[in-house]
Structure 1
Amino acid sequence: MAVNAQQIKELREITQAGMMDCKKALEATNGVIDDAIVWLRENGLAKAAKKSDRIAAEGVSLAKENDKNLVIIEVNSETDFVAQNEKFINLINQVADTILTSNAKSLEEALNTKTKSGETVKEVLINATATIGEKIELRRFSLIEKQSGYSTTLYNHSNKRVSVALKFKGELDSNDAYSVAMHVAAMSPQYINQDEIPTSFKEAEFSIIKAEAKDDEKLKSKPANILENILKGKLSKRLSEISLVDQQYVVDESFKVGDFLKSKHVEIIDMVRYEVGEGIEKVVSDFASEVAAQLGN
């Protein structure tokens, strides 16, 4: 069936799909707009499925809040170029706003939460994958509840790749809370305090320190009991580097972060820091080899 330009224009405005895709959809559905929308979605799902095994290690992190909650999310794309796209940024905000007003406890629950448009977060991301042409996925999120007698804050770095959400027990001035969040963004603590650090991590670090000591001529000559204390001191130093309360406070180096919080009569009880792509193994491709392979060389 022949379709006219007005039908294609109408379908494009509704779906944001490409002109040729709209033309094919209308031809396949005898010009019925509603059927054409379904056709595009079904084909979009097929396109998205082909991209599901790609590695998405770029993207955006975002922390937002309303009067009840804080949310921090990471949504990944395959390239940094797409991550800077205005449509992608709008998508991130839509996902964040949806989860912010939900009670999602798991990634699965978050993905099945319905947006204002009636689609689930999962469907929105699948449609974005089909439209944008790259794998788009919600990697992780955290919801932090606001409570009376507690303080919260958030921080988003200007590069859109690092976000922080914090919760304190006690009332903390908003400027001080924000400064602590900036410290977390800059210094990348992995734990709030050393008690949170897993025993397995401590044992592994101590084994590394012992192995390093075997090659240190100065330490070899130390008595066993003194050497043990030196090695424990080295371990304590390493652990303090990844423990927030033990870090030197970058805003005021006369304090450690823990001492600063004590001076304000508050305690940090929840810390979430996301950095885009951390822990994802990226594929490094050899472009010249890929071209040669395609040419049969």
Structure 2
Amino acid sequence: MAFTAADVKNLREMTGVGMMDCKKALTASDGDMDKAVEWLREKGMAASAKKAGRIAAEGMAYAAVIDGVGVVVEVNAETDFVGKNEKFVDFVKGVAATVAKEAPADLDALMECKYVGTDLTVTQQQQEMVLVIGENIKVRRFARFAENVSVPYVHAGGKIGVLVNLESDLPAEKVEEIGKDVAMQIAALNPRFWDKSQVGQDVLDEEKKIMMVQMENDPKMASKPEAVREKIVMGKLNKFYSENCLLQQEFVKDNSMSVEQYIASAAKAAGGKVTFKDAIRFEKGEGIEKKQENFAEEIASMVKG
């Protein structure tokens, strides 16, 4: 029975085993998915197949600079308790070190990389962690900056990981002070955009439309000439930028200036120039639908079993 690349992908998602081993299992099992899972379990590769279906929305977001390369990763587990486990934290740091060293193109490539300090792939090391810890563990995403000066910030023990990338002619330690302040701002306020230049026309049109409708529904505003309302809308758009764009936001530590102005003045005071280039913000579990456990039903099903 033939099998497709999609079958290999599905088997990998079911078992957490690497692509090549999944392909071998399907070849050995003539494309039969159940037999392939059995084959992997017999080989000791998929001892955690049942755990792979559990929702992992806890864990840790982590950012670091390793050998000059900025890295931010998110690794998920099922419970907040495991997110604080020393072995789990070490695994997350090892994933970050692997990203820094190997520069994988995407998540699939990362999972096939050799996990630092071992002969195992990241997938195999992840499987080892599942067996040791007893929960579903999943490397979810990563980003890296090899250029410029990267500044990492980890908030609340791994709830949020931020990596800020700055271009500068200043010594790294001076840039790091500025980067840390910017990273903390990103962690706290989670801006939609870094700069107003990134706000697309479609977003602006939608905002304008909402503002015009709001004014039409306000008797005081509705009676004003359209030219006046347009002017008011332009003023409100500036407020939109200051609320949604990092560089135009009020700087949290000193509300007399924007983040952009803070970067420029701090760089000038340090005797050089600093330019914000990019940033990444990972919040642990964001976008993952957490399963609402019904413990009464779970216990009832266990009793029946």
**Matching residue's letter, 2:204:** K
More deviation, 226-235/72-81: 226-235
* CA displacement 1:188-236 (0-9 Å, x = unmatched): 1232102223444334444444444444333322222222332343343
CA distance in 1, matches of 2:114, 2:206: 44
* Residues 1:161 and 2:159 are matched in the alignment: yes
Q: Contact between 2:163 and 2:279, CA under 8 Å: does it hold in 1?
A: yes
Q: Secondary structure at the match of 1:52?
A: helix
CA distance in 2, matches of 1:110, 1:153: 22
CA distance in 2, matches of 1:129, 1:205: 46
Q: Which residue of 2 aligns with 1:191?
A: 193
Unaligned runs of 5+ in 2: 1-39, 268-272
CA RMSD of aligned residues (A): 2.6
More deviation, 225-234/178-187: 225-234
Q: Which residue of 2 aligns with 1:254?
A: 256
CA distance in 2, matches of 1:276, 1:254: 32
* Residues 1:279 and 2:287 are matched in the alignment: yes
Q: Secondary structure at the match of 1:135?
A: coil
* Residues 1:245 and 2:247 are matched in the alignment: yes
Matching residue within 259, 266, 278 for 2:274 = 266
* CA displacement 1:240-262 (0-9 Å, x = unmatched): 31211011111222220111222
Q: Contact between 1:209 and 1:235, CA under 8 Å: does it hold in 2?
A: no
CA distance in 1, matches of 2:252, 2:185: 6
1:152 offset after TM fit, Å? 2.5
Instruction: Give me the identity figure in percent.
Output: 33
* CA displacement 1:152-190 (0-9 Å, x = unmatched): 211112321111111112135132222222222222123
- Equivalent pairs counted in the alignment come to 255
* Residues 1:224 and 2:226 are matched in the alignment: yes
Identify if the C-alpha distance between structure 1 residues 180 and 287 changes in structure 2 by more than 3 Å, giving closer, same or farther: same
Q: Contact between 1:162 and 1:185, CA under 8 Å: does it hold in 2?
A: yes
Identify if the C-alpha distance between structure 1 residues 186 and 122 changes in structure 2 by more than 3 Å, giving closer, same or farther: same
More deviation, 285-294/213-222: 285-294
CA distance in 2, matches of 1:133, 1:270: 37
More deviation, 209-218/114-123: 209-218
CA distance in 2, matches of 1:191, 1:260: 18
Unaligned runs of 5+ in 1: 1-38
**Matching residue's letter, 1:262:** A
TM-score when normalising by structure 2: 0.74
TM-score when normalising by structure 1: 0.76
Identify if the C-alpha distance between structure 1 residues 293 and 200 changes in structure 2 by more than 3 Å, giving closer, same or farther: farther
CA distance in 2, matches of 1:160, 1:242: 24
Q: Secondary structure at the match of 1:252?
A: coil
Q: Contact between 1:41 and 1:127, CA under 8 Å: does it hold in 2?
A: no
* Residues 1:109 and 2:109 are matched in the alignment: yes
Residues 121-200 of structure 1 correspond to what in structure 2 (within 5 A)?
A: 121-146=122-147, 150-172=148-170, 173=174, 174-200=176-202
CA distance in 1, matches of 2:180, 2:77: 28
Identify if the C-alpha distance between structure 1 residues 44 and 216 changes in structure 2 by more than 3 Å, giving closer, same or farther: farther
More deviation, 52-61/67-76: 52-61
**Matching residue's letter, 2:85:** N
CA distance in 1, matches of 2:168, 2:159: 29
Q: Contact between 1:45 and 1:127, CA under 8 Å: does it hold in 2?
A: no
CA distance in 2, matches of 1:291, 1:219: 60
CA distance in 1, matches of 2:42, 2:213: 58
Q: Which residue of 2 aligns with 1:97?
A: 97
Q: Contact between 2:72 and 2:161, CA under 8 Å: does it hold in 1?
A: yes
